[in-house]
């Protein structure tokens, strides 16, 4: 959680929008298609070009009640909060209260917190700098990603009554061992670093970090609908869209996010906030913004060189900003200093990528030709492998079904056939329900189109065969076994 994900890019075909007359229509169509391809997830998009602003919204803020999302709805921005934590740090650097080279031993000279930096029998607390915390090169254990997958993290952390403090999160992090590498040697995204930065802001500013960011960033920009998750009123919280993970409702204690990602905002407020940063309104010196835009950058993923991370900011092409993910939301906030163009994206499902939609809206390609060809080949192979696997299952279940309905079959044969079907049912317990296959078809097709161009008739036929086989597999098992699980896959 709160990691900026740059993998599994599923975009939409640019050919779909060539005949649209207006930019608003183009964006509305783009957002609607993205919603439809992601099981009616609520999608929010803002495009601001030189003050020419277009906003679009599609999908359900509440799936159960089928309440549509609105363009002025608030949403959790997750790690996009980090850019504002970083701005606060750079403000304190301007005032001489910190530097990028300030080491943690000068900020925390004693205490068990120093054990966060143990590595192979040596302690590196005095080697970790503020700059390393900002650009994720500290090596510290990331307290939000220690469980290896988001489902486990949600299960462990999402207890409604739980309140997390700085100290309790530090204690939690200490339970998960040593730093990942010697400080400064690698890049590895780390929410723990930004938890520390929030506390450092409090230490060096003389103000609690929430108050500092409110006063020196939110109030400076003049936004009125931006809040901290731990401070938002229950009335306003109840008016927000629901958050989901893989279409299942989720809850996240905002105290768990802290200065790594607890901000809640709207499309319009985020547009104001990021534009004020682009225009240098938060800094007294012009070279402060220049430093943040040019120094400390590292490749986040060796397979995607077009996306890099610096001091609290992601760079994609000529766009600078940050993405975010909570237990139930995704976001992307970014602006282009050359063209004065800003994009804000929000979704209310943690697994529906806001970065993908930004890339499509801004017409940015992040892969080189060799990588594209590799991805195209991989997608083709994926479709063929899925088709082959479903054909085997399809053949097997119809073989056993024939035995069950053949009047010449012995009772022993029928018993063995039913047992075989029950085994298949258990082995495929994670299969998709029939209602999910239309969206799966769209996702495969869209991904293939953006990677490889035209979706060939051969690939289309393979994908349709895969889906028909899978749906028939569900139907036969439901008919022959009659258990609730199999029937639910068909309904």
From the number of C-beta atoms within 10 Å of its C-beta (0-12, 13-18, 19+), residue 155 rates as: exposed
Q: CA–CA separation, 328 vs 47, rounded Å?
A: 23
Secondary structure element (H or E) that encloses residue 332, with its range: strand 330-336
Predicted confidence at residue 63, as pLDDT, reads: 94
Distance, CA of 393 to CA of 401 (rounded, Å): 12
Give CA separation, 446 vs 11, 19, 30, 33, in Å.
6, 18, 12, 10
* Mean pLDDT per 10-residue segment, the chain (491 residues): 41 39 91 88 97 97 96 98 98 98 98 95 97 97 82 82 92 90 95 98 98 98 98 97 93 95 98 98 97 96 85 96 96 97 97 90 78 74 85 89 91 91 81 76 69 70 87 86 69 58
Long-range contacts from 119-123, C-beta under 8 angstroms, 24+ separation: 119/178, 119/179, 119/181, 119/182, 120/178
On whether the 14-361 domain is CATH 3.30.200.20, my answer is: no
* Contact assessment for residue 212 and residue 201, using Cβ atoms and an 8 Å cutoff: yes
Using CA atoms, how far apart are residues 2 and 191, in angstroms rounded to an integer?
7
- The residue extents of the domains of the chain are 14-361, 369-490
Inter-residue contact 159 to 250 (CB < 8 Å): no
Rounded Cα distance, 355 and 30, in Å: 14
pLDDT at 38: 85
Q: What is the pLDDT of residue 371?
A: 64
| 331 within 8 A of 76, measured Cβ to Cβ | yes
Strand boundaries in 199-283, DSSP class E: 227-228, 244-245, 248-249, 263-265
Rounded to an integer, what distance in angstroms lies between the CA atom of residue 326 and that of residue 315? 21
How far apart CA 5 and CA 12 sit, in angstroms, is: 18
């Amino acid at each position: 959680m709160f990691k900026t994900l740059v993998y599994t890019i599923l975009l939409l075909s640019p050919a779909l929008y060539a005949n649209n007359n207006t930019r608003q229509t183009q964006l509305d169509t783009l957002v609607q298609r993205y919603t439809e391809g992601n099981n009616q997830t609520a999608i929010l998009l803002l495009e601001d070009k030189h003050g020419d602003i277009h906003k679009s919204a599609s999908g359900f803020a509440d799936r159960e009640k089928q309440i549509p999302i609105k363009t002025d709805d608030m949403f959790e921005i997750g790690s996009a909060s980090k850019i504002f934590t970083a701005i606060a740090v750079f403000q304190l650097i301007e005032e001489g209260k910190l530097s990028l080279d300030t080491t943690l031993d000068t900020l925390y000279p004693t205490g068990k917190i120093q054990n966060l930096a143990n590595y192979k029998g040596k302690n590196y607390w005095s080697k970790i700098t503020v700059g390393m915390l900002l650009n994720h090169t500290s090596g510290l254990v990331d307290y939000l990603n220690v469980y290896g997958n988001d489902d486990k993290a949600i299960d462990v952390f999402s207890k409604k009554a739980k309140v997390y403090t700085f100290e309790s999160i530090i204690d939690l992090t200490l339970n998960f061992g040593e730093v990942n590498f010697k400080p400064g040697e690698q890049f590895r995204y780390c929410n723990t670093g930004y938890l520390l930065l929030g506390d450092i802001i409090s230490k060096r500013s003389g103000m609690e970090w929430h108050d500092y960011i409110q006063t020196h960033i939110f109030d400076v920009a003049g936004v009125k609908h931006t809040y901290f998750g731990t401070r938002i009123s229950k009335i306003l919280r109840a008016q927000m869209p629901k958050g989901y993970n893989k279409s299942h409702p989720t809850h996240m204690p905002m105290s768990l996010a802290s200065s790594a990602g607890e901000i809640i905002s709207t499309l319009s407020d985020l547009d104001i906030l990021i534009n004020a940063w682009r225009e240098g309104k938060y800094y007294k010196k012009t070279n402060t913004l220049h430093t943040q835009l040019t120094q400390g950058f590292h490749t986040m993923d060796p397979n995607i060189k077009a996306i890099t991370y610096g001091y609290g900011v992601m760079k994609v092409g000529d766009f600078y900003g940050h993405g975010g993910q909570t237990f139930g939301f995704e976001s992307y906030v970014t602006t282009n200093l050359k063209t004065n163009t800003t994009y804000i994206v929000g979704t209310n499902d943690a697994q529906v990528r806001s970065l993908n939609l930004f890339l499509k809206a801004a017409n940015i390609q992040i892969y080189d030709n060799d990588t594209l060809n590799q991805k195209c080949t991989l997608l083709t192979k994926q479709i063929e492998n899925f088709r082959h696997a479903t054909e085997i299952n399809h053949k097997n279940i119809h073989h056993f079904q024939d035995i069950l309905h053949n009047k010449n079959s012995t009772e022993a044969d029928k018993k063995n056939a039913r047992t075989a079907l029950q085994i298949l049912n258990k082995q495929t317990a994670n299969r998709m329900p029939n209602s999910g296959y239309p969206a799966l078809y769209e996702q495969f097709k869209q991904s293939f189109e953006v990677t490889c161009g035209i979706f060939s008739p051969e690939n289309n036929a393979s994908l349709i065969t895969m889906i028909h086989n899978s749906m028939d597999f569900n139907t036969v098992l439901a008919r022959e076994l009659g258990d609730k699980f199999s029937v639910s896959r068909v309904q």
